[in-house]
Chains A and B, each alone.
Chain A
């Protein structure tokens, strides 16, 4: 009887916990964005030749959702020429906030030459100074809001490139396959994408365990990529010790059935070291050649 009682009590307490928040390693304790002055841990720091003039960096906010959470956005380039420029929209990964990814955004702004393309990045809800809580749906909602802003500035889909890194591949792939989005990218780049939380769970448990056992967020990139028709560049480090290239990246790439797929398996690169391993110049050349490739 005692055992039955304990079981009933425990069952009544069940469903209390979900591990969704563990998907997001966000830092919302900052009081300002420091960009080049950010001196915490970063994947790499570019030299002065990659500096961006202050008048070409715009930090602003957008209001998202019914609760009007403010999200912070960063645009590198000339806002007045968005109606003619091509823009790379960078969906950052799950760590900290935009300061951590500032160097990556600057590097993208040197694709094809200094500020050949505009670059936009946002902090999703719950990241940096952006309000609200992070969620899978929120990543997509926030990205769509920023794309609406770009649309209102005159950007059109044929001049939009979406680049997702790690967690950021979720909104990038989802929107690239969503014809109803206000802007749909002309080309898609995914660096170190994960296949789904199902694969994360199976890799961790070594058995075929559904991701739903621990999180409501599914991040079904391996399924959403099937909706993508646009040219697709997949980049993944062969030594990625977090999102295994075989169980995550290869599955996403295999499921892509669109116009043109290009795979770049970067020998020896880890999860966060693709640009450094390729070399910054070659990395920019790789992106430029994909973006300008005639297909």
Chain B
């Protein structure tokens, strides 16, 4: 069997299909629409490329430190799989505006939902992210962040009644956001599932760090209004 199948098998590698929705909440009453592009790096036809996974999301600032959001994954949609997510992010510690080295801290909870239009298979996975972020350009509120994204598999059994092998996927991440009044741009890198072997599976992920995990690269652009 040839590895061209890999592209099929990892199109919905969902734990790695989108960057963090929000690290720093929107301002109260502010809305934003965001487009994402990117995914895990895979080896395909002799090249290393990021999977071109796309998503669109909406966010709304309930309070200055609390934003709700929801998104739809357009690549999955084009294959007849309705993949959505919704969640909330709360800023617990504001970054120090005078001492740049003192970070802000936020956490988010997201519910990820999938159902296919073919057999109506429904699945959902909860996700909890935590991020530290530092302002580095106070005029424009640009910031970079370090954090971790955690996905939880709730199904006790996998296909054919076999015991579930993977209950917790954590993905360390780092990103930078250039934040202008009406627009913002983000680049994020994730070290995907470093607690799992990337060997002997159907997907030929790029393996920049040896035999565990993979690397994902994501780009986002947001319009705020």
Digit string of B161-184 for contact with A (CB within 8 Å is 1, else 0)?
A: 010111001000000000000000
A99 at the interface (CB under 8 A from B): no
Q: Which residues of A contact B12 (CB under 8 A)?
A: 201, 205, 209, 213-214
Q: Which of B13, B14, B159, B200 contacts A244 (CB 8 A)?
A: B200
- Compute how far the CA of A241 lies from the CA of B78 in the bound complex, rounded to whole angstroms: 30
B11 at the interface (CB under 8 A from A): yes
19 more contacts with CB within 8 A, not counting A210-B121, A239-B200, are: A10-B72, A15-B80, A18-B80, A94-B2, A94-B5, A204-B6, A205-B15, A207-B15, A208-B123, A208-B158, A209-B14, A210-B116, A210-B123, A212-B118, A213-B12, A214-B9, A214-B79, A242-B200, A251-B162
Q: Which of A23, A212, A239 contacts B8 (CB 8 A)?
A: A23
Q: Which of B74, B151, B164, B196 contacts A10 (CB 8 A)?
A: B74
| Chain B contact patch, size range | 35 or more
Interface residues of A (CB under 8 A from B): 2-3, 6-7, 10-11, 13-19, 22-23, 25, 93-95, 166-167, 192, 194-196, 198-216, 222-223, 239-245, 247, 251, 255, 271
Q: Which residues of A contact B128 (CB under 8 A)?
A: none
Question: From residue A268, how far is it (CB to closest CB) to chain B in Å?
Answer: 13
Q: Which of B118, B169, B193 contacts A216 (CB 8 A)?
A: B118
Q: Are B10 and A204 in contact, with the CB atoms below 8 A?
A: yes
Q: 17 A-B pairs, CB-CB below 8 angstroms? A: A3-B56, A16-B78, A22-B8, A23-B8, A166-B1, A167-B1, A195-B160, A199-B160, A204-B13, A207-B14, A207-B125, A207-B151, A208-B155, A210-B119, A211-B159, A214-B11, A255-B160
Q: Are A213 and B8 in contact, with the CB atoms below 8 A?
A: no
Question: From residue B193, how far is it (CB to closest CB) to chain A in Å?
Answer: 6
Nearest A residue to B223 by beta-carbon distance? Answer: A2
- Compute how far the CA of A125 lies from the CA of B162 in the bound complex, rounded to whole angstroms: 33
Question: From residue A5, how far is it (CB to closest CB) to chain B in Å?
Answer: 11
- Compute how far the CA of A214 lies from the CA of B72 in the bound complex, rounded to whole angstroms: 17
- Compute how far the CA of A203 lies from the CA of B116 in the bound complex, rounded to whole angstroms: 19
Q: Are A195 and B1 in contact, with the CB atoms below 8 A?
A: no
Q: Are A200 and B56 in contact, with the CB atoms below 8 A?
A: no
Q: Which residues of B contact A194 (CB under 8 A)?
A: 1
Q: Are B1 and A271 in contact, with the CB atoms below 8 A?
A: yes
Q: Which residues of B contact A205 (CB under 8 A)?
A: 9-10, 12-15
B49 at the interface (CB under 8 A from A): no
Q: Which residues of A contact B142 (CB under 8 A)?
A: none
Q: Are A202 and B158 in contact, with the CB atoms below 8 A?
A: yes
Question: From residue B166, how far is it (CB to closest CB) to chain A in Å?
Answer: 5
For window 95-135 of chain B, which residues contact chain A by CB distance below 8 Å?
114, 116-119, 121, 123, 125
Question: From residue B160, how far is it (CB to closest CB) to chain A in Å?
Answer: 4
Q: Are A196 and B160 in contact, with the CB atoms below 8 A?
A: yes
